[in-house]
Amino acid sequence: MTDRFLPACKRSLRVPGLCAVGVLAMSAIVTPPLHAQQATDHPRLTPGRDAVIDYVFQPRPTEQDLKAGAKADTPVASRHVQVLYSGDGGLMRINYMTSMEGDASRGAVIINRAAQEVLVIINDRHIYTRLVQQEGIRNPFLLDMSMQFTKTGSDVVAGQPCTTWQAVSAQGKASTCVTDDGFILQQDGVDVDGLNGSLRAMKVSYDIVPVSAFEPPQGFQEVTPHSPYPDAAQTEPPVTGVGPATSLPATSPNPEGETR
């Protein structure tokens, strides 16, 4: 997200999990520099059509975690996230699924670049909050031109052909596989924010995504930052970021496969 998004999220929200831990994928700049747009030595930066992609995300300890004493082989539960893309990349919805299989989700984050806002939805409480940004929003699961790319070959992931790239940033290296129409299907390594892990598409659908998927659900109550909201007594400290490592509030104290 933007440089100002994470601090603002931590300051304003009191609902647990509304700010996420981050993404292994990357963030796409709203308007890449002209020289970046003209370059040909990088993958397509934004989606070319609507899509729904289910990913499995396996986080790993970061270098900072290792310095703090974490073991490199510490097991971390895989996460299932479902991402809905609009055809122009301006709208994105990230659903945080309750299990590796099935369609049930705990909540979602909706990113609207044109309106420069983020909606965070908590399903079991039937609430959502709206974060309006002062500067351009950057989307997770899209590519960032601050990285340097080297084409390395091709692969097939979830039945879809993609081009493999080596991506290097100030934080480290990652390998990624991107379709010709701009969708990341696989990534392994360290992203531009220093987060370490692997991301792989399990299922890809190019069905048209309805506009309603990027709007607050009917019947949900809007909660403004610092205002009371349902089940206020059940709050926990919020975490930061937006992406597959998110721990949105669960419908049970210890949902299967979820680490807290």
Q: What is the pLDDT of residues 15-24, one digit of tens each?
A: 333 343 233 2
> Which range among 71-85, 118-132, 169-183 has the greatest average pLDDT?
118-132
User: Tens digits of per-residue pLDDT, 157-204?
Assistant: 999 999 999 988 877 888 999 999 999 999 998 776 667 788 999 999
pLDDT of residue 186: 95
As a whole number of Å, the CA-based R_g of the chain is 18
**In whole numbers, what is the pLDDT of the chain averaged over residues?**
74
Which of these ranges, 31-40, 57-66, 133-142, has the smallest mean pLDDT?
31-40
User: Phi, psi (5° rounding) for residue 184?
Assistant: -75, 125
Residue 192: predicted pLDDT: 65
Q: What is the mean pLDDT of residues 84-88?
A: 89
Q: Domain residues of the chain, as ranges? A: 5-234
DSSP per-residue codes, 204-249: EE-PPPPGGGGSPPTTPEE--TTS--TTGGG--------STT--PP
When pLDDT is averaged across residues 57-69 and rounded to a whole number, the result is: 78
Beta bridge partners of 71: none
pLDDT for residue 39 is more than 60: no
**Could you read off the pLDDT of 194-253 as tens digits, one per residue?**
677 889 999 999 999 999 999 999 999 999 876 554 554 343 333 334 555 544 544 433
Q: What pTM was estimated for this model as a whole?
A: 0.73
Question: What pLDDT is attached to residue 225?
Answer: 72
Per-residue tokens: 180: 């010709």
- For residue 226, the model assigns a pLDDT of 63
Q: Which CATH superfamily is domain 5-234 in?
A: Lipoprotein localisation LolA/LolB/LppX (2.50.20.10)
Say if residue 97's pLDDT is above 50: yes
